[in-house]
Structure 1
Amino acid sequence: MVNGMDDQLSAETEIFQPLGRLATLFYGSGHMLNDITSACWFTYLLLFLTEIGLSPRDAAIVMLSGQIADAFATIFTGELIDRFGHFKLWHAGGSVLVAISFSSVFGGCLPCKLSGISSSALQTIGYSIFAAIFNVGWAATQVSHMSMVNCITLNPTSRVSLASCRNAFTMVANLSLYAVALAVFTIYSAKGSVDIKIQYRWIAYFSILVGCCFVGIFLIGTKEPELKKQFQSDKICRISWGYWFRKVLYYQVAVVYMLTRLVTNVSQALLAFYVIDDLGMSHSSKALVPAFIYICSFIVSILLQEMRWTGWRLKSFFTAGAILWMFSGAGILILPSNMHNFMYILSVTIGVANALMTVTGISMQSVLVGQDLNGCAFVYGSLSFLDKFSCGLALYVLESYQGSTRTMDSHSVNHPADSTRFMGSRSLTHPSVNRVGLGLVPAACALLSAIVTYTMDLPDARSRPLIEPLLV
């Protein structure tokens, strides 16, 4: 009897054991392909499609089709992972699908090439098909990778460390993308739609190459989690969806995560339009400004891994990030084009805010799951469903309004350079959709998410420091 109790205590001690540096780094590298392609998707897809001749509404339809496919794929993927497990298999399959389909999203309209017809309707359909395929693979990779956190360890500090390391690699992926984009936009000047396609094709190919290298590192260095199997042997019944729907915390975390993703994705999608059309900055700024944001996010993400986390600290740091975004949004709304260099200062506060909100928002999902591992993939899948659907819908609405205003602005003056200066000068009295979408929408979402976070009752689990802090 004593030996049985000792074995039980030993097993419990083991599953709460903090993770080492290598295990954390190997896990964090697993989302690089998703991250670098996602950065290209949200930053440049709408810009790319409108530059090659699609209307803002048609471009938004392409993005919406991908987001809807992603939303439903997360639900089905989460359910299948909960039933059958095999996180790494789902991750590898999704990565293959992403790598194959992503180049076609920026590589031209395949149905147009096959049929010899290049109508806007056929282009919209062609790009939408590959956007949907890309996002199905993206969803499989995302859900399997995120739900692994809870099955790798039950240690709360290590779970936040895994989320923070994942976010740090997200910053590395984004910085890599913007470095290449800056080089491509500087070296290769685009004089027509063919040149534009070549520009973005090189960016897409690089994204796939770098991402696949890190996926290989993840698959080799990360073991298939065993905690889920242990809990399934102890608790034969799989957790039903109704179990989560009866939890108030589930709805609170769902709203906070959805609003957090709206903040980051909407701001990322509209940033390039804002700095070019509203502030009249050079084309290199559509790579430089996002790079500043992600450098700051990377630094903060690394620093957050050194902390011992409690429910109170999660709420406090998330609220701090939301407050920073509200100030940043106000700055974006009032910034005149003749002071556009202040955008680099705003990019610092946006980067810090994004890191604080993203790391703590994802960590709240781990707190919600706790030790209920038999239903963890459904939690991540269902919350991602809300994220994808809401982001796609929000961007579609903004781009639908953008269609008429962007057309009017493009004909307001004779020269493009004068046009951008004209739009920047009048933007304070008649704010553009870019300015409102980048300044007001994320700030409002940040405010609502902070209010919901305040109402949360996050349980404090026992926490131990990391065995090997990543900064030492």
Structure 2
Amino acid sequence: MVETVSYSTFAAIFNVGWAATQVSHMSMVNCITFNSTSRVVLASCRNAFTMVANLSLYGVALIVFGISTAKTRADIENQYRWIAYLSIFIGCCFVGIFLFGTKEPRSKAGICANIHARISWTYWFLKILYYQVALVYVLTRLVLNVSQAYLAFYVINDLGMAQSAKALAPAIIYICSFIVSVLLQEVAWNGQRLKAYHTAGGILWMFCGVGILLLPGSMSVFMYAISVFIGIANALMMVTAVSMQSILIGEDLNGCAFVCGSLSFLDKISCGLALFVLQSYQSSSPRVAGNYSTDVYFSVTRYGLGLVPAFCSLVGVAVTSTMELHTPFSKPLMEPLLE
């Protein structure tokens, strides 16, 4: 009980800091430029470096595991403790570089009269697009977070793959997401293309979900191919979902923190509830049938990785089709809001 309370407390403190960082960083994208293509480029760049950060953690873990050998439980705890220490240290270094090495820009005088206008939070609740974007963003985060939570358990417990698979499959996803995020920066974006690319990512995830549900242990090697398409779909959906927020915000820059913050709050609550519900149906007993080669074992893990993301993708695609995304920004691509 004490361990649960202490872990929950530190997790809550971490999420407060993470939410503050995430909301401010996402809001920053809209304050740099009004151009819709530039905003999508910045969102895709942000997503690409998120993948770099995830892959860097694998590099840190590889170094720690290579330097030290674990023979007891205490040794394993020390390994993961050092991984945490090094990750925090590297993160603090980059935060320091950003805070002290980046010159604080100022808004260009007279570029837009309503930049400094106060916007009531009730203003957003009167917009239908707010609810549509919120639903698409929350569903996208559900796809990414729920699938990420169950991926390692699926490849080990359901497919009976080697222990290395629980690191290799996520690494493939991150690499593919990084590549796609970089390629998305070369597209000239508008509302219709955002909808089309998000729909493509959602459809791709639906096929991946079906494959995950029906994949037997004898064909477990195909999980690596599925991971490639999951990485592509994740990048398409995440970049476009975040960019839809930029279209919703438009030139109302004083409201971007509320939009990003409220949507981030909704996604964290929904992901927590989804995982809680799934885990409530998780059996505490291990799988009895040991024949991984022929069985398609429909566990909560398989449903969490395959069915839930596929269903969320389907609903997200349906909502996206009803959205009217207008990109009225005619600002030149190279003209920033800051100086």
**C-alpha separation between the residues in 2 aligned to 1:236 and 1:355?**
33
Structure 1 residue 287, shift from structure 2 partner: 1.3
**1:442 aligns to 2:309 (yes or no):** yes
Distance 1:123 1:426 in 2: 40
CA distance in 2, matches of 1:229, 1:137: 32
2:292 is matched with 424
Query: Residues 111-122 of structure 1 correspond to what in structure 2 (within 5 A)?
Result: 121-122=1-2
Distance 1:154 1:284 in 2: 45
Contact 1:275/1:281 (8 A) holds in 2:
yes
The alpha-carbon deviation at position 183 of structure 1 amounts to: 5.0
Is 1:409 aligned to residue 289 of structure 2? no
Q: How does 1:330-345 map to 2 (within 5 A)?
A: 330-345=210-225
Q: Is contact 1:157–1:464 with CA below 8 Å preserved after alignment?
A: no
Aligned mates of 2:191, 2:132 — CA distance in 1: 14
Residue 183 (structure 2) aligns with:
303
- 2:89 counterpart SS class: helix
Residue 176 of structure 1, CA deviation: 1.2
The amino acid that maps onto 1:424 is Y
One-letter amino acid of the counterpart of residue 394, structure 1: A
Distance 1:400 1:229 in 2: 55
User: Are 1:328 and 2:208 counterparts?
Assistant: yes
Task: Specify the alignment match of 2:300 in structure 1.
Answer: 433
Q: CA 1:331–1:192 in structure 2 vs 1: closer, same or farther (change >3 Å)? A: farther
Alignment of 1:139-288 (within 5 A): 139-182=19-62, 184=64, 190=70, 192-220=72-100, 222-227=102-107, 237-288=117-168
What is the TM-score when the length of structure 2 is the normalising length?
Answer: 0.91
Does structure 2 conserve the Cα–Cα contact (< 8 Å) formed by 1:171 and 1:298? yes
Of 319, 326, 331, the residue aligned with 1:459 is 326
Give, as a single letter, the amino acid of the residue that structure 2 aligns with 1:348.
V
2:237 aligns with one of 342, 357, 372: 357
* Aligned counterparts of 1:303 and 1:235: Cα–Cα separation in 2: 31
The percentage of aligned residue pairs carrying the same residue is 68
Greater share of helix: 1
Greater Rg by CA = 1
The amino acid that maps onto 2:301 is N
Q: Which amino acid aligns with 2:39?
A: R
Give yes or no for contact 1:310–1:460 (8 Å, CA) kept in 2.
Answer: yes
> Which 5+ residue runs of structure 2 have no aligned equivalent?
335-339
Alpha carbons of structure 1 residues 361 and 204: separation in structure 2 relative to 1, 3 Å? same
Structure 1 unaligned blocks of 5 or more:
1-120, 413-418, 468-472
Q: Which amino acid is the alignment partner of residue 244 of structure 1? A: W
TM-score (norm 1): 0.66
Shift of 1:460: 2.2
Residues 28-69 of structure 1, C-alpha deviation per residue, up to 9 Å, x if partnerless?
A: xxxxxxxxxxxxxxxxxxxxxxxxxxxxxxxxxxxxxxxxxx
How far does residue 237 in structure 1 lie from its aligned partner after superposition? 4.5
Assess, with a 3 A threshold, how the Cα gap between structure 1 residues 401 and 239 changes in structure 2: closer, same or farther: same
- Superposition deviation, residue 192 in structure 1: 4.9
**CA offsets, 1:286-340, max 9 Å, x none?**
1111000010000000010111100000000000000110011111111111221
Q: 1:144 to 1:342 in 2, by over 3 A?
A: same
